[in-house]
Amino acid sequence: MHHFEYRNGKLFAEEVNVSELAKQYGTPAYIYSAATFRRHFQAFDSAFSDLDHLTCFSVKANSNLSVLKMLAEQGAGMDVVSGGELFRALKAGVAADKIVYSGVGKRAAEIKQALEAGILMFNVESIAELHKINDVAEEMGKIAKISIRINPDVDPQTHPYISTGMKKNKFGLDIEHSLEAYKLAAKLSHIEPIGMDCHIGSQLTSISPFLEALEKLLKFYERLKEINISIQYLDLGGGLGISYEEEEPPHPSEFGKALAEKLAGVPLKVILEPGRVIAGNAGIMVTEVIYTKSNPTKNFLIVDAGMNDLIRPSLYGSYHRIGEVEKNERETKEYDIVGPICESGDFLARERDLPEVHDGELLAVFSAGAYGFTMASNYNSRPRACELIVDGETILVARKRESYEDLVANEL
């Protein structure tokens, strides 16, 4: 559920007319619903109330400071994958001991930054990283708390670019190498293994891959106990999908019930790292039609948002529902909705049916709250869009639109 709805043919974000937002703040623009963020977080977090757990929002999904602050106020921890994301989480007021640091390529300076902050733990993805963390912790006179990211070789049945838990993926260690990593961690002077971690992919529309991975992790947990390695945390990552088109992902409560059954009597605190399921349908991107164009085989809507603003359709072939900001009763036509970038791969949708659209009209790209702005770029020297948060009737400019001066501010 989300708080974007049509009233008398006009699209509203909570209590605010989207057309008025576009008129005041320009396009393209990302518009987020505060009520939807809060609702989705509480719906997810409460689904695991039968478990001792910590819900860490995946910052890579939406890293706006105001979004992070809003979720932190709801009790969220954070899952970060870079020093920049850690900086954002701390700046947003997230308690360091509710931050988990994932990612395959942590640099020494980032490890130091995290140790200085006092994060909950690192999710370690290689033997080399384990040694690096130990070296940095030793130099600082600190003990680094870690878990090993275990790659269970489970097919998440999702897009190959967002599949992360199979042998061919770059993430984590397989079961046997994970056991060796834990043995090493127990011997290293400035490492304390406190958890085990697994993240198999994103946009999963079934809980069966999660449960398959969990079975392997619980067997591995028994092997850890046999070698006297005692852990306290089980990090199951994120990945629960949302409905972009006709997907029917499970409700978090279904996942929570299944986990509670599987983990009954297991003395581990569960960490969950949702991103898309919280943020995806909490945001839209609004764009203006600059030109309409037709050739013998195609009708085009050329809009002012390009692949630099929303790359998911070009990168993944992803579907986003697109609708008029103000509905009309015109005859339906089939369009390719394309941007101004000098690439044939610059499109938001292909062969999409819409009531006939005219120059200057507005379109809303739905389900754009996750992996929208965070993946945006300045390609073709295009300033990035603004980000707005609507909270009832209140409008917050969460990020100002970039200017041309912003584009060159760091160049000499």
- For residue 51, give every residue at least 6 positions away whose Cβ sits within 8 Å of its Cβ, in sequence order, or none: 256, 259, 260, 263, 270
Q: Annotation-wise, does 156 bind a ligand?
A: no
Q: Is 238 helix (H, G, I), strand (E, B) or coil?
A: coil
Tokens for 168, please give them.
């061919």
275 marked as part of a ligand binding site? yes
Query: Which of 76, 71, 42 is CA-nearest to residue 272?
Result: 76
Find the distance separating the first CA and the last CA of the chain, reported in whole Å: 47
How many domains, in total, are found in the chain? 2
User: How confident is the model over 375-410, as pLDDT tens digits?
Assistant: 999 999 999 999 999 999 999 999 999 999 999 999
Domain endpoint, select from 276, 291, 307: 276
Give backbone dihedrals phi and psi of 86, rounded to 5 degrees, phi first. Answer: -60, -45
Non-local CB neighbours of 144 within 8 Å, separated by 6+ positions: 111, 115, 122, 133, 134, 136, 137, 190, 191, 192
What is the per-residue DSSP string for 100-135?
A: EE--S---HHHHHHHHHHT-SEEEE--HHHHHHHHH
Residue 343 is assigned to a ligand binding site: yes
Contact (CB, 8 A) for 333 and 259: no
- Residue 119 structural domain: 34-276
314-361 pLDDT per residue, tens: 999 999 999 999 999 999 999 999 999 999 999 999 999 999 999 999
Integer Cα distance of 298 and 45 in angstroms: 46
Radius of gyration for the chain, computed over Cα atoms and rounded to the nearest angstrom: 23
Same domain flag for 235 and 297: no
DSSP 8-class letter at 265: T
User: Do both 334 and 257 map to the same domain?
Assistant: no
Q: What's 376's domain CATH number?
A: 2.40.37.10
What would the DSSP string read from start to end of 162-173?
A: GB-SSTTSSSSB
Question: Mind listing the pLDDT tens digit of every residue in the chain (412 residues)?
Answer: 689 999 999 999 999 999 999 999 999 999 999 999 999 999 999 999 999 999 999 999 999 999 999 999 999 999 999 999 999 999 999 999 999 999 999 999 999 999 999 999 999 999 999 999 999 999 999 999 999 999 887 765 544 544 444 455 556 798 889 999 999 999 999 999 999 999 887 777 788 888 888 899 999 999 999 999 999 999 998 888 887 777 777 788 988 999 999 999 999 999 999 999 999 999 999 999 999 999 999 999 999 999 999 999 999 999 999 999 999 999 999 999 999 999 999 999 999 999 999 999 999 999 999 999 999 999 999 999 999 999 999 999 999 999 999 999 999 9
Is 273 labelled a binding residue? yes
> Which CATH number does the domain housing residue 251 bear?
3.20.20.10
Q: Which residues are catalytic, by number?
A: 342
pLDDT for res 156:
54
CA neighbor of 298 nearest in space, from 338, 363, 351: 351
**Residue 61 Cα to chain centre, angstroms:** 2
Whether residues 310 and 260 fall in one domain = no
Whether residue 360 is found in the same domain as residue 376: yes
Q: Is 88 annotated as a binding residue?
A: no
CA 217, CA 313: separation in Å to the nearest integer? 34
- For 309-343, letters b (16+ CB in 10 Å) and e give bbbbbbeeebbbebbbbbeeeeeeeebbbbbbbee
234 shares a domain with 313: no
Residues 6+ apart with CB under 8 A from 252: 43, 44, 47, 48, 240, 274, 277
Q: Are residues 196 and 300 in the same domain?
A: no
| Residue 149 and residue 182 in contact, taking contact as beta carbons nearer than 8 Å | no
User: How far apart are alpha carbons 96 and 272 in whole angstroms?
Assistant: 16
Q: What is the pLDDT of residue 169?
A: 56
- pLDDT value at residue 164: 44
Of the residues 257, 276, 295, the one at which a domain ends: 276
38/16 same-domain check: no
pLDDT of residue 249: 78
Query: What's the confidence (pLDDT) of residue 160?
Result: 52
Residue with tokens 């300033």: 383
Calpha distance 181→179 (Å, rounded): 5
Q: In a 3-state reduction of DSSP, which class is residue 389?
A: strand
Q: Do residues 28 and 89 share a domain?
A: no
Report whether the peptide linkage leading into residue 249 is cis, meaning its omega lies within 30 degrees of zero.
Answer: no
pLDDT of the residue at 161: 42
256 shares its domain with 125: yes
Last residue of a domain, one of 229, 253, 276: 276
- Whether 390 and 248 share a structural domain: no
Closest of 234, 228, 209 to residue 100, by C-alpha: 234
Do 347 and 307 touch, CB atoms closer than 8 A?
yes
Q: b/e map of 161-198 (b: 16 or more CB within 10 Å)?
A: ebbbbbeebebbbeeeebbebbebbeebebbebbbbbb
Same domain for 177 and 149, yes or no, is yes
Residues 23 and 168 in one domain: no
Strand runs (DSSP E) across 191-312, as ranges?
191-197, 233-235, 269-272, 283-294, 299-303
Gap between the Cα atoms of 229 and 381, Å rounded? 52
Query: The tokens 């945006």 sit on which residue?
Result: 376
Rounded (5°) CA angle 292-294-299: 80
Query: Does 239 appear as a known binding residue?
Result: yes
Is 405 labelled a binding residue? no
